[in-house]
Chain A
Amino acid sequence: MARDNLLTFTDKGIFCPEGGFYIDPWRPVDRALITHGHSDHARPGHNRYLSTDKAAPVIRARLGDITIDTIPYGETRAIGGVNVTFHPAGHVPGSAQIAVERGGEVWVVSGDYKVENDGLSEAFAPVPCHTFISECTFGLPLFRWQPQAAITADITDWWAKNRAEGRISIISAYSLGKAQRLMAMLGHQGPILTHGAVTHMTDILRDQGYNLPPTIHVTPDITHKTHPGALVVAPGSALGTPWAKRFGDAAEATASGWMALRGIRRRRGATTGFALSDHADWPGLNQAIRATGAERVFVTHGYTAPFRRWLSEQGYDAGIIETAYHGDDAQDPDFMLPEIPPGGAGGGQPPVATET
């Protein structure tokens, strides 16, 4: 244990000195291992990429002309002086946790993950390790997801009610992952129409062999008249645009873990919210960490300060990795939350400011 840390945290991202590679780096590097295709993880500009064979088509489609090598889940590859293995993260189709091993010591970088098997993404598998680097987007006990079947029932009821009123239902969801999960949950119930951004990702995944129900790409001639009562899946940015107007007086909903909070649902303008997330909830994070058997945990992406304190009170050697780059261009809708600084967790006294 007198040796250097297997992974270090630099201003470009997580770095493995002995392997000479970065994991999900946010600035251009020579060699990047990518957990999945979301744009806050797969960034342009690296010389060489390595991802799972399942994630590669999306990464290629998004980043264009890149040099990318692929690896199946569970296969070990030696890079420099370390061994690297990709394991399913259950976040979106193709997403991975990355395990790095040297002389029996294992570190795992979780990437984004969720514990519940959604039936579409390769199911999350805990990887025994000594040090676990975990995301904690929803690292507060406020967040406890309903089982997917219950959310499916809620969305089904909402859709049926709108259909009975002769209205289209538009559900906003991120175009990679959440959109296809919704299709898999609801596709047997009736026609699902897709916005171009969703169609693009769906076609790629379907070509890879993911089992997705048939969907209809929204072309200019498609309206609420041609497909009354249909469900439309579109990215959040498409709501309220001329594109969405074609569907007349449609009912709108958002599918995101943030919808668990009433305040955030209301900020979305009084539409319906379904707390459907591709990230682990509080019980999920705790369960996943326990399952690794790790003694040391670093947390990143989310409520890092309280989550670290909670883990250290549970007896873990816990630390925080600051993500220097979680800026305004993060497109994963589950990252619309800026890191809210800890209130009571030893953050010092508020400044003396004027009262109102």
Chain B
Amino acid sequence: MKRFAELFAALDTTTSTAARTKALAEYFRTAPEADRVWTVALLSGRRPKRVVNATELRNWAAEAAGLPLWLFEESYNVAGDLAETIALLLPPATTDADPTLDQALRQLIQLAGQPEPIRKQATLAAWAQLQGDARLLYTKLITGGFRMGVAQGLMTRALAQATGVEETTLAHRLMGDWKPETTGFHALIEGDGQQGARPYPFALASPLEAEPETLGPVTDWLAEWKWDGIRGQIIARPGAFAVWSRGEDLITDRFPEFAALADFLPPGTVIDGEILAWDGVAPLPFAALQTRITRKTVSKAQMAKAPAHILAYDLLEDAGEDIRQQPLAHRRARLATILAQIPPSLPLSLSPQITAQDWPELTAERAKARDKQAEGLMLKRLSSPYHQGRKRGDWWKWKLDPYAVDAVMLYAQAGHGRRANLYTDYTFAVRDGNDLVPFTKAYSGLTDAEFNQITAWVNRNTLERFGPVRRVKPELVFEIGFEGIQASPRHKSGLALRFPRMLRWRQDKALDQIDTLESLRALLAGTKP
């Protein structure tokens, strides 16, 4: 674990991409091979399942540290991270053992399903022998909440540097559902020659900030709606059918209606598209799809209420051949041909292309996005390959401007972790007659300098304390941006926002200039139910 902890510390103390890549590549060259496999697995989201729940961890750690549980909780409130809290509160290690990452994780996996006394004893024993960052990391691994803040692209690049295997090849090989327990380092890096149900790395778009005219002639571009669903990849290969989400989750079982596609798509077809809840001709709001993704198994009633459908964007594999380097125009034509040959009753169709003579016309089309349940337009260069990850220049997301309202801060709460000593989480209200009605929380969008200033203000203007939350004088006005709004009987205001965040601190505005609940209701009425 020490070698892994050193890697963690090296990554944690620099934001320089070059330095991070170097540290990782060095690790992939020198760490024990089994540890390298686990590290690739952990950095690509293949975390071991949680074997101890948070309540157990708290109780065991408080007991081992000889502290009352309430003081453990106070400490956790400040550190903001359970594993770090535990690592700091426990007495120093009694031995200086150094199990490898592989040993530690294999032992951990075996704890799953064991009775509490066994899991407790193993956990206390591990804590007693691990020091500092190794203890922190081990604890994060037990909770199933391990994250290292390394983008998969960076990890792949470092692995490519360490092994000499080309980056895109490596990226594809690392996808799918391989298991670190049973995969050797060389098998992982060199591939097993089997495609199976392995997906391709997704191509990602960058937000378009410049005027669209800067992109050249409109005819160089494919424009389509930016749908608000789940980006997914459908794999139909001989003997393998799978639906993957962009987060590399296998979601085949959550959408039983797609199973029929296996019988109709030509063998060796891989399609990139958007999974949406569908009313028969058009998408339903994202809230409908949400009812489908929160559960592992889906009931008949849910399927009837929110039937799933895929709008296809792109074709990545055609008759078993990887065609990602072909121009988009070609891939799209092949996609259209394939989709034209399947029965129209199947839940898969082409995402329509939006055509326009010039940019102003396309801009006018984009304005209709909300009526279409879309977030804006996607612009893809017709001559572009299917890139791996985000490569600026060929794919742009051209979103509508967010909705915005001015609201007043009612409550403030200290942040966690990086911002444990600042008030960063706020609850906002709009006016309803003489009342202020809380309607959303937001915690991002300001600079550290602004958070510092507001923290000082909160300290001076607290009216009441409720545990970690402070009620403050309703005085500070913020512009709150959001992507969507929906009715929500669970909330006092009767509505819920999608992706709320602070656009700016309106120091120029006072309490009497904030928006009203009525104006939010009008926005709600303006969106399709």
A residues at B contact (CB < 8 Å):
140-144, 258, 260-267, 269-272, 303, 306, 309-310, 313, 326-328, 336-345, 347-356
Q: Which residues from chain B contact A347 at a C-beta distance below 8 Å?
A: 465-468
Q: Is the CB of A144 within 8 A of B467?
A: no
Report B's interface with A, CB cutoff 8 A.
12-15, 65, 67-68, 70-71, 73-81, 84-85, 88-89, 136, 410-411, 414, 416-423, 427, 438-442, 448, 453, 455-456, 458-460, 465-471, 490-493, 496, 500
Complex: how many Å from CA A303 to CA B78? 10
Assembled-state Cα–Cα distance A178/B251 (Å): 55
CB distance from B529 to the nearest CB of A (A): 21
Which residues of chain B are near A309, meaning CB under 8 Å?
70-71
Whether A348 lies near B466 (C-beta < 8 A) is yes
Q: Chain A residue with minimal CB distance to B423? A: A338
CA distance A343 to B420 in the complex (A): 13
Residue of A nearest to B467 (CB): A347
A355 CB contacts on chain B under 8 angstroms: 441, 490-491, 496
B438:A354 contact, CB within 8 angstroms:
yes
Interface pair A354/B71, CB less than 8 Å apart: no
Q: Which residues on the B side are within 8 Å of A141 (C-beta)?
A: 65, 67, 71, 75, 88-89
14 contacts between A and B (CB under 8 A): A140-B75, A258-B421, A261-B78, A263-B420, A267-B422, A270-B12, A337-B421, A340-B468, A341-B465, A344-B70, A350-B468, A353-B410, A354-B427, A356-B440
Q: How long is the Cα–Cα vector from A344 to B422 in the complex, in angstroms?
A: 19
Q: How far is the CA of A246 from the CA of B40 in the complex (A)?
A: 40
Assess whether B440 is in contact with A303, with CB atoms less than 8 Å apart. no
Query: Which one of A260, A261, A306, A342 has the highest number of Cβ atoms from chain B below 10 Å of its Cβ?
Result: A261
Complex contacts, B438 vs chain A, CB 8 Å: 352-354
| Closest CB in chain B relative to A258 CB, distance in Å | 7
Pick from B13, B89, B416: contact of A270, CB under 8 Å: B13
When chains A and B are docked, how far (Å) is the Cα of A348 from the Cα of B470? 11
Chain B's closest residue to A273 (CB) is B13
Q: Which of A260, A327, A341 has the most CB of B within 10 A?
A: A341
**Interface of chain B, main secondary structure:** mixed
Residues on B with C-beta less than 8 A from A267 are 418-419, 422, 448
Q: Which residues of B contact A328 (CB under 8 A)?
A: 453, 456
Contact indicator B441/A260 (Cβ below 8 Å)? no
- Residues of chain B contacted by A270 (CB below 8 angstroms): 12-15
Complex CA gap A326/B455 in Å reads 12
Give the chain A neighbours of B89 by CB distance below 8 A: 141-142
| A270-B13, A328-B456 as given contacts; A340 in contact with B77, CB under 8 Å | yes
Residues of chain A within 8 A of B12, CB atoms compared: 262, 265-266, 270
**How many Å lie between the Cα of A306 and that of B68 in the bound state?**
11
Least distance between A142 CB and chain B CB atoms (Å): 5
Give min CB distance, A255 to chain B, whole Å: 15
Nearest B residue to A144 via CB reads B88
Q: Is there contact, CB below 8 Å, between A354 and B493?
A: yes
Q: By CB atoms of chain B within 10 A, which of A260, A344, A354 has the most?
A: A354
Q: Which residues of A contact B84 (CB under 8 A)?
A: 261-263
- CA gap between A270 and B17 in the complex, in Å: 12
* Distance in angstroms between the alpha carbons of A341 and B500 in the assembled complex: 26
Q: In the complex, are the beta carbons of A336 and B15 less than 8 A apart?
A: no
Report the minimum CB–CB distance from A268 to chain B (whole Å): 9
C-alpha spacing A309/B74, complex, angstroms: 11
Contact of A342 with B88 at beta-carbon distance under 8 Å, contacts A267-B448, A350-B467, A351-B466 already known: no
CB-defined contacts of A349 to chain B, threshold 8 Å:
466-467
Of the candidates B74, B80, B427, which one forms a contact with A345 in the assembled complex, judged by CB atoms under 8 Å apart? B74
Instruction: Report which of B80, B441, B456, B458 forms a contact with A263, defined as CB distance below 8 A.
Output: B80
| 10 pairs of A and B residues whose beta carbons are closest in the complex | A263-B417, A328-B456, A343-B77, A353-B427, A306-B74, A347-B467, A344-B73, A337-B421, A270-B15, A267-B418
CB atoms of A269 and B15 under 8 A apart: yes
Say whether A343 contacts B421, CB under 8 Å.
no
Q: How far is B85's CA from A10's CA once the two chains are assembled, in angstroms?
A: 36
Q: In the complex the two chains form, what is the Cα distance from A140 to B70 in whole Å?
A: 12
Give every chain A residue within 8 A of B439 (Cβ-Cβ). 354
Q: Are B13 and A271 in contact (CB under 8 A)?
A: yes
A267-B493 Cα distance, complex, nearest whole Å: 34
Bound-state CA distance A258–B466 (Å) is 25
- Taking A141-B89, A142-B89, A269-B15 as contacts, is the C-beta distance between A303 and B74 under 8 angstroms? yes
Beta-carbon contact of A348 and B416 below 8 Å? no
Task: Give the distance in Å from the alpha carbon of A261 to the alpha carbon of B81 in the complex.
Answer: 10
- Is the CB–CB distance between A336 and B79 below 8 Å? no
How far is B456's CA from A270's CA once the two chains are assembled, in angstroms? 24
Q: Which residues of the partner chain B approach A341 to less than 8 Å between Cβ atoms?
A: 465, 467-470
Q: A261-B78, A272-B13 are in contact. Are A336 and B469 (CB under 8 A)?
A: no
Task: A142-B88, A341-B467, A342-B468 given; name 9 further pairs at CB < 8 Å.
Answer: A142-B78, A266-B12, A267-B418, A267-B419, A267-B422, A306-B74, A344-B74, A353-B441, A354-B492
B76 nearest CB neighbor, chain A only: A343
Residues of A within 8 A of B423 (CB): 338
- Residues of chain A with a CB closer than 8 A to B13's CB: 265, 270-272
In this complex, which of A143, A267, A353 has the most chain B Cβ atoms within 10 angstroms of its Cβ?
A353
Residues of A within 8 A of B469 (CB): 341, 350-351, 353
- List chain A residues, Cβ under 8 A from B67: 141
CB nearest neighbor in A for B493: A354
The answer to whether A327 touches B456 (Cβ under 8 A) is yes
**Within the assembled complex, what's the spacing in Å between the Cα atoms of A265 and B421?**
12
A327 and B414: CB pair below 8 A?
no
Q: A340-B78, A347-B466 are in contact. Are A264 and B420 (CB under 8 A)?
A: yes
**Assembly CA distance A260 to B87 (angstroms):** 11
CB distance from A316 to the nearest CB of B (A): 15
Bound together, the chains give a CA A141 to CA B64 distance in angstroms of 13
